[in-house]
Amino acid sequence: MTATKRCIRAEDLYQIRYTSDPQLSPNGKSVAFVETMIDEQRQYRNHLVLQSLDSKDLTSLTVGAVRDTFPRWSPDGATISFVSNRSGTPQIWLIDAKGGEARQLTRCKTGVSNPIWSPDGKHIVFSSMLSPEDSFSDVEGESKKEVQKVIVVNRMKYKSDDHGYIYDKSKQIAIVNVESGEMRAISEGPYNHTVGAWSPDGEWLAITANRAENPDKQHSIDVYLVPFSGGEWKKVTKSKGTFFFPTWSPDGKKLALIGSESDTHLHAAQKRVWVYNLENDEQTCITAEWDVQVGDSTIGDVRSPGHPNPGAVWREDGKGMYFIASERGNSGIYHTTLDGQITQIVGGSRNVYGFSLHEKAQKLIMVVSDTASPGDLVEVDLDTKEEQRLTDVNHDLFAELELPAVEEIEFEAEDGWKLHGWLMKPVGYQQGQKYPMVLQIHGGPHSMYGNTYFHEFQVLAAKGYAVLYTNPRGSFGYGERFVQACCGDYGGNDYLDLMSAVKYACNHFDFVDETRLGVTGGSYGGLMTNWIVGQSNQFKAAVTDRSICNWLSFYGVSDIGYYFTAEEIMANPFNNPEKMWHHSPLRLAANIETPLLIMHGEQDHRCPIEQAEQLYIALRYHDKAPVSFIRFPGASHELSRSGDPQQRVLRLEYTADWFESYLLTAEKASV
């Protein structure tokens, strides 16, 4: 380590900033984007920033203790709409593109999301979560009824890790007049609807929705065309699979969709680009022969969830589209023609997680992260493919830090499957010395580790650990067969893949001390951590985070449990409880001798805290391994990514302290 630099610390999270959601102006001369940071009160703040592409000057459009997101230009480029919580709940606000005071447009009691301008700039479509007794005209801050003494639940999907207890609420869509503020609902019923895009002539809205007879049991998501002036909806897709992010061709005769027709795989289906032709009602998958996941599947811990996906962005001549895809730990930007000829536009060892295109100006603005950068804007000249970095929001902080080296690895599983991952060296690495190693296991399981910034890995490397992270079967980025290979086989070949990674690292990196190994992961990664320490004593310490230990109880308590288990475990408690118990790490609790730290959020609806409670009590009962249980009040499943900043830092400190007790302390005592 150089004398002028220091190791990164968990609390450096409070200083890290990142950019997102770039939006090029209609004239292509400037870009609006969101900059996210944590303030002195340890609260998230999002501000809108405007950058000139000629002068490169930056202008802060919004400041203060606010969360301003989703900037969108009016068609004439004079106004920018955005979503802000400055009035208490997220509402649509408008601001002059030259700056000034923002004007509040909506005052919906339940807040709004995803506002999109009409082509003539006179209206904005948006969505909101409503109960049957609510309306879009209900004003924020006004309550119609007293606090309920009882709540009657009638739906299976009555809670959500994103929204908490939703009971009978559903996402509805409305249109607001920009001048008068007058609103008109365009959807209703016990169905969730998501804003898509306006047709070029402004006469139709493309939206997505699950309007099945029983949306709790039928999970297809269809695309609908809704006439702006009212009237009958047109259903585009066939209630088979899931489709998202509809975008219109410039002539309004076609729709591009991202999705899959798979009925058996909701989570593990590889997404592709489709085109629906309005003139002949034909739907075609134009990337059918390309075995690559469309969209960004990279997982990180310094980016807000739900980053807007631009979908497939059409060329002006309507002969092709640009889109993001994920492959082998990288996500880049690709172009496809209508006959499926695919070309990579932006590649490299990095994570592109958003972009905006202005074809006339031949400019593309993307947001990019890599292993040493949380996220900045980059301008791409589409003619020359030359790139220019526009922002460097962490320059001052990262100039102080010594960051670890990262090496990409390739190895084979026990059955010969090709596997891929990374080994992050400890900061201050010196040749000839031995270092403890921590295996990190991602969640999902259908996500992807990649060439992106991961604060947790950086903190562990700064503490003196090698960090091994890999994509076992079940991960996106390696083809559809690979991503679906763990379904019905949790704890089988995916477990062997992880152990093969450890074996490879121990055999090929002489600085790895195979007598001092740790393992950790969250969600599915927590499940596999539990499974590993129930199968093996190879690891000297483990940290399980937001985990699953019992599929039988998970079925009825998770917000996705009853249908997730059907796809992922291929069983339910009624047709094959033995299989569900077989894949449950709780079954192995009596075998666990590895010191285990259990951490869990108390408001986690995805993997509810009863999973952690069961595991903790079982380990205490068997009294074979040191175990500690850390509960985070108010925390959801997003604890480690977008949860309370102070809880995120505490979680990192507890993790590092646990590993230090079992992987570093013994070494220090023997010196």
Residues 6+ apart with CB under 8 A from 580: 551, 552, 555, 565, 569, 571, 572, 573
Tokens of 125: 């479509």
Instruction: Tell me whether the omega of the peptide bond preceding residue 119 falls within 30 degrees of 0, making it cis.
Output: no
Give DSSP secondary structure letters for 176-219.
EETTT--EEE---SS-EEEEEEE-TTSSEEEEEEE--SSTTT--
Q: How does 136-164 read in b/e, with b if 16+ C-beta sit within 10 Å?
A: bebebeeeeeeeeeeeeeeeebebbbeee
Contact predicate 89/70, CB 8 Å = no
Residue type, 319: K
- Point out which residues pair with 94 in neighbouring strands: 81, 103
Question: Which of 523, 547, 553, 584 is the catalytic position?
Answer: 523
Q: How far apart are CA 355 and CA 24, in angstroms?
A: 9
Q: How does 450-465 read in b/e, with b if 16+ C-beta sit within 10 Å?
A: bbbbbbbbbbbbbbbb
Which residue reads 């990095």 in tokens? 350
At 535 the three-state DSSP class reads helix
Q: How far apart are CA 402 and CA 462, in angstroms?
A: 8
Q: How far apart are CA 89 and CA 112, in angstroms?
A: 8
Burial of 182 (0-12, 13-18, 19+ CB in 10 A): exposed
Which phi and psi (to 5°) does residue 508 adopt?
-105, -10
Q: How far apart are CA 603 and CA 164, in angstroms?
A: 8
Annotation marks residue 523 as catalytic: yes
Residues 6+ apart with CB under 8 A from 465: 426, 435, 436, 437, 438, 518, 659, 663
447 CB neighbour count, 10 Å cutoff: 24
Tokens of 361: 């100006």
Phi-psi region of 546 (alpha: psi -120 to 50; beta: other; left: phi over 0): left
Residues classed as catalytic: 523, 637
